[in-house]
Chain A
Amino acid sequence: MQCPIYVYPGYLLAWGLPRRGGLEPGTAAVGLAVGCPHPTYLILLSPQMAQRLALRQLLSLAPRTLPPQAPVARHSRAFSTSANCKSTFNVQDGSDFQDRVVNNPKPVVVDFHAQWCGPCKILGPRLEKMVAKQEGKVLMAKVDIDDHTDLAIEYEVSAVPTVLAMKNGDVVDKFVGIKDEDQLEAFLKKLIGA
């Protein structure tokens, strides 16, 4: 589940939240953004915080936590933007797969899935979460087998979900079907460590 983080410098823009004497910068609130079915986390930023955030993004660092120097209100918590947005990506085509998976210096797990596959909808987010926990040491590529049938056939995918562990362009490990978080963690650690 990749929930976007909305940051509003200066003042609260969230619709429907009570303005009881205003909210301190750094306060987190939960609301529903239009078009997004998941609860969306809103973080209020002071202009300085917003500047630092922009700078971090500019330097391509995932802003996982707010800079410690920022004036953070007592009752606030920093939310991780979840490195999901950087460590997981959807494969666009064959050459994209070549560039971002086969030729990637980092190990990549490839999640072959399908729209019509129930178990895939369970495994996908679970795998994304465990990949995120590895803090960038491994990346995750998602391949829809109906959109990229040639790729699925090339890698001999019969049933879905099929997950391949790829390192330096070679398939070094694989599993088919659902696994729980511990099993996924072990799978990923083996890939990273090996």
Chain B
Amino acid sequence: VFPSEAAKYEKKVMVLDFVTPTPLGTSWGLGGTCVNVGCIPKKLMHQAALLGQALQDSRKFGWQFPEEVKHNWMTMTESVQNYIGSLNWGYRVALREKKVTYENAYGEFVGPHTVKATNKRGVEKLYTAERFLIATGERPRYLGIPGDKEYCISSDDLFSLPYCPGKTLVVGASYVALECAGFLAGVGLDVTIMVRSILLRGFDQDIANKIGEYMEEHGINFIREFVPIKVEQIKEGTPGILKVTSKSTKGNEIIEGEYNTVLLAIGRDACTRKIGLDKVGVIINEKTGKIPVNDKEQTNVPYIYAIGDILQDKLELTPVAIQAGRLLVRRLYAGATTKCDYVNVPTTVFTPLEYGACGYSEEAAVEKFGEENIEVYHSHFWPLEWTVPSRDNNKCYAKIICNIQDSERVIGFHVLGPNAGEVTQGFAAAMKCGITKEQLDSTIGIHPVCAEVTTKCGKSSPGTAEVKSPSLVFQSDTA
């Protein structure tokens, strides 16, 4: 995005994009994490899992087909990779159309205003420029235990894995871990998640636990408060069999398990350590590798800017990086002054039960405003589409957090249910306009849709059961 935007203002622009292969040799084309090993393949595979569930539901709606419906991993992966291939090419074309020079080479600073680009054949070239933008992103972290790099895979490898992963152990409790575990189970695999402490750190914990419960009820095994200490190969193959030895975080208990695949999703590290930042004096956070920038995305070196997941204390989301980049270029070359607004950025976690959020979590709201100054409204709901197949009654949930001292302005929005992203997007715009609870209540709901629950949330009184969905007169529990 940024090169195309800058080229619009007739600046000569060059892009250095290089993917260091994973320990297992996986690599990919132009487009960054989101396109190749993030949002795009993740959402497509999540869709594959949802379609599996839809197939099961469809019988109750009259569709007839033989008992067993199977999933083919290779067919799914090939389709997903084909789409990604078309996106990679699309970006090449877009760069060319905007006359941006593209080099598939590893860039690192060697001196002021100078960068060295090394291609995969080892050929080095030097380039100088007036300004530089670092957007190198992150890569999955490994555990640092015996066997991790040799036998474990990460999300970098998963989306193009040339064989079905089989019985999988997912290590981690990040959204990456839960989303991947979710769709792997959704396409019929035996999945276990090993969690060191809590789920979805940084997200509303009440909702995080509901997500975990839902996944457990739907057949995903959880091993809580353990960490792997050793991975060994029992049998070679695609997939082979791996033995994982794990230790409790609370004592000395040791457990062992056998899996076809071990997927590590324990965090991502910024790619800022080996690009020569020390040669030009760019300060990074030594512990995390992230780059602190001012509100204009400028590093401590005036001609070097940074964007995206590598920024310290900023949200790691594709649209945030894109927006920040666009505004940065307009500020630099079109005389604009608008800075990127990092407040009330909506997001969605594509776990089997999807979670859309915008604004404060309940914990963060209590911390910032004080428990007595916020009001939490909530409601469970049962999507109409799930009534006929008679499943997951009273699992979906919406929560709206309001600031009492500011006309009950909505400061936190959380929805757990199907199409959570679609429901949340419009709400984020409403929050940007400063919507209050009163305005929300006076908005008439659309019926029968999940989103109408937002117009019906009630207060939670201490000690009472949670508010059940008011739109249903009766609920049948017969299968």
Q: Which residues of A contact B (CB under 8 A)?
A: 114-118, 145-146, 149, 153, 158, 160
Contact = CB atoms under 8 A, between A and B. Distances in A.
Interface of B: 29, 81-86, 89, 92-93, 96-97
A107 B322 CA distance: 46
A149 B81 contact: no
A143 B97 CA distance: 21
22 contacts: A114-B89, A115-B82, A115-B85, A116-B81, A116-B82, A116-B83, A116-B84, A116-B85, A116-B86, A116-B89, A117-B82, A117-B85, A117-B86, A145-B89, A146-B29, A146-B85, A146-B89, A149-B92, A153-B92, A153-B96, A158-B93, A160-B89
A114 B85 contact: yes
A118 B85 CA distance: 11
Given A114-B86, A116-B86, 6 more contacts: A115-B82, A115-B85, A146-B29, A146-B89, A149-B92, A158-B97
B136 to A, nearest CB: 23
A103 B96 CA distance: 27
Contacts of A116: 81-86, 89
Candidate in B29, B92, B97 with the most chain A CB atoms within 10 angstroms: B92
Nearest to A118: B82
Contacts of B84: 116
Contacts of A114: 85-86, 89
A160 B82 CA distance: 13
A116 B85 CA distance: 6
The 9 A-B residue pairs with the shortest CB-CB distance, nearest first, are A116-B85, A116-B82, A158-B93, A116-B86, A153-B96, A114-B85, A115-B85, A114-B89, A116-B81
B87 to A, nearest CB: 9
Contacts of B86: 114, 116-117
B86 to A, nearest CB: 6
Contacts of B29: 146
Contacts of A160: 89
A160 B83 CA distance: 13
Contacts of A149: 92
Contacts of B92: 149, 153
B190 to A, nearest CB: 31
Contacts of B97: 158
B158 to A, nearest CB: 18
Nearest to B86: A116
Contacts of B81: 116
A117 B79 CA distance: 10
B93 to A, nearest CB: 5
A114 B29 CA distance: 14
Contacts of A158: 93, 97
Contacts of A117: 82, 85-86
A160 B89 CA distance: 10
Contacts of A118: 82
A152 to B, nearest CB: 9
Nearest to B95: A153
A145 B93 CA distance: 11
A158 B92 CA distance: 9
Nearest to B94: A158
B75 to A, nearest CB: 13
